[in-house]
Amino acid sequence: MFNCNDLSLLNFTYYFKLSLGIIMTIIPVLVLELIFIKVIRLKEKKKKIDTKFIVKQLKTVFYTIVFFFLAYALNMAITSPNNKCNMYAKKDIIKEYKSSLKEVNDSDMTENSKVEYMEKVLITAYENYEKDDLNNKVKEKTTNNEKAKVVQINNKSDFLKENSDKTLNTVYVKNGVFYYQGYVSGNYNTYYGTHCPSNPLKEGYNNPYGYNNYFYNRLTKFIEDAGKNGYKITMSEQGCRSYQTQVYYYKTMTPGRAAPPGWSFHGLGIASDLEFYGGNGYPCPYGRTDNSCPSMGWAHRNAYKYGLVFPLLNASYKEDWHVEPVNKQSY
């Protein structure tokens, strides 16, 4: 299937869409302004607006309308759900693709391997684009009711008022917000997973897994309260996923399932994959729902009370087990 796995096609699609947007918005406005200016000047010179002038301006308006609808038709065609280029032709995705392409071209991979690898980059970069968009919606639009609930919980629960300048794995927490170092393509020092602790308990962590201390506190209370309500949930013992481990996942898992190396919040110790158990004591099988797996249903309904969110519930590749802090911001 044609998926726009080419830098020139991605750039062309991006700028073509941008050009169509200009044609449909700015040009009609400019044309109307020019006509208005011409009319004002004629009045200032006390010249009569004759039929010839009106016909000329009407022709200009007609051609503008024709160009508008042509641009609109092209825009509808290019933004079709079947057009993969439209999905991938986004500034952040192109930037990541360009960076990865340079690394691939400098490698000794075969041509087929290069094509396959770059297809994975496109798919995963798009998944992360969707994920970031979803995170923003969660942070900005969680719904007024949920925001109000979070505020109420914050006012009553000290564990959501974290406030510390101490940096663990490039993450620090102020007023309940988790601040993490922004990813910079080409700068390995900013890649998530490159600062995982080798001995967490000796490096200032309150857990042996490498989770951020405050995220671990939230997870622990969350899981303990689930138990008090009769639900068994466990967290992954992979508290901080190394860059090398992410490389392995990225290369071996189905395209789109694992974030590109350096992009995963697991590498910062502020994400966890939870395991949900049924009443029989065994993990709920895949294909489960909140109803068929009550422990998972409880988790999804109550996560906000603990400053947690499941951001991939509505992603193309649904992950009902992946949990993160609700408030995160790069610096």
The domain ranges of the chain are 7-89, 141-330
pLDDT in tens, 28-47: 889 999 999 988 888 888 88
Average pLDDT over residues 299-327: 91
Q: What is the pLDDT of residue 276?
A: 97
Predicted confidence (pLDDT) per residue in 211-253, tens digit: 999 999 999 999 999 999 999 999 999 999 999 999 998 888 8
- Spatial distance between the Cα atoms of 328 and 268, rounded to a whole number of angstroms: 12
CA distance 308 to 160: 10
Give first-to-last CA distance, the chain, whole Å.
39
pLDDT band at 1 (very low <50, low <70, confident <90, very high): very low
Q: Say whether pLDDT at 134 is over 70.
A: no
Backbone angles phi, psi at 256, to 5 degrees: 100, -15
For residues 271 and 316, the model is more confident at: 271
Q: What is the pLDDT of residues 43-92, one digit of tens each?
A: 888 888 888 888 999 999 999 999 889 988 888 888 776 676 777 888 88
Name the pLDDT band for 23 (thresholds 50, 70, 90): confident
Q: What is the pLDDT of residues 242-271, one digit of tens each?
A: 999 999 988 888 776 788 889 899 999 999
User: For domain 141-330, which CATH number applies: 3.40.190.10, 3.40.50.720, 3.30.1380.10, 1.10.10.350?
Assistant: 3.30.1380.10
What is the value of pTM for the model shown?
Answer: 0.58
